[in-house]
Amino acid sequence: MDILFIYLLLGAVAGTAAGLLGIGGGLIIVPALVLIFSATGVSPEVLTHMAVGTSLATIIVTSISSVWAHNAKGAVDWHLFWVMTPGILFGSWLGGVTADLLPGAWLQLFIGIFAIVMAFRMGLGSLHSGELVEGEANLPGSLPLLCSGGGIGWLAAIFGIGGGALVVPYLSHFRVAMQQAVGTSAAFGLPIAISGSLSFVVQGWGNRLLPSWSSGYIYWPAFLGIVLTSVFFAKLGASLAHRFSAARLKLCFALLLFAIGIHFIWENYNLITG
């Protein structure tokens, strides 16, 4: 019962941060689950893969409400969604296969590096208050978009995120309006999560190191606790966003991500080299 409360609390924190900062909950869920699974005695060989797979499974639920809200505001480019989704699906599945090939220490090392990259992006963004200069969207052709979808899905599945941290900068580069970029990014979270989590189920199926109540690398008690609270608290976070300085909040979260990244890199670099 105590551990279920921890998962409920994690869902509340991740959901609040997602609504407050406009980030995906995976940036919080994956590092937190790594620490929780480690503290509860899960084998180091599988705990990181479980954290990523479980995070992706939670995104299936949370992305549905997010897509619904963005679509109601007309902020989802469905033509772009259908062009890129085949690549997203393939890349996300391949991301699960790639993660399974990596030892847990290496996977944590890469997650730590990714956390630091995101910390710098978020920290620098908080220091610049200027709006993105937008013009007429100038997207590439269908084949480059399809291939880009594959790369985005691959990276998102490896890191257990919905892809917003990758999709929004990519679309913004081609001068897609920020509202459209964010809304379409939210839509991409669903195929990323479905394909990626299914891949993590298949790759981990039958692994004897996994605890009970697991389907491959998805751990259902953690999934249940997180989704029960994350959707509600995401709405709470969104309502609180108007009461706080977004720049200051993002800077604080960037510092937290940086600390998490340094911890993961330091711990696992020593394991790998040592």
pTM of the model: 0.88
Domain that holds residue 159: 2-273
Residue 42 has which token pair? 């899960």
pLDDT the model gives residue 1: 58
The DSSP secondary-structure symbol of 160 reads: T
As a whole number of angstroms, the distance between CA 94 and CA 151 comes to: 10
pLDDT the model gives residue 183: 84
pLDDT the model gives residue 140: 87
pLDDT the model gives residue 241: 62
Residue with tokens 């406009």, as numbered in its chain: 22
pLDDT the model gives residue 135: 57
Residue with tokens 């697991």, as numbered in its chain: 214
pLDDT the model gives residue 107: 93
pLDDT the model gives residue 253: 78
Q: Which residues of the chain have pLDDT under 50?
A: 129-133
The DSSP secondary-structure symbol of 23 reads: -
The pLDDT tens digits of the residues spanning 23-48 come to 677 888 999 999 999 999 999 999 99
Count of domains in the chain? 1
* Closest by CA position to 62, among listed 153, 180, 164: 164
Residue 99 has which token pair? 């993660």
The pLDDT tens digits of the residues spanning 191-201 come to 999 999 999 99
Q: What is the largest CA-CA distance in the chain?
A: 54
As a whole number of angstroms, the distance between CA 164 and CA 162 comes to: 6
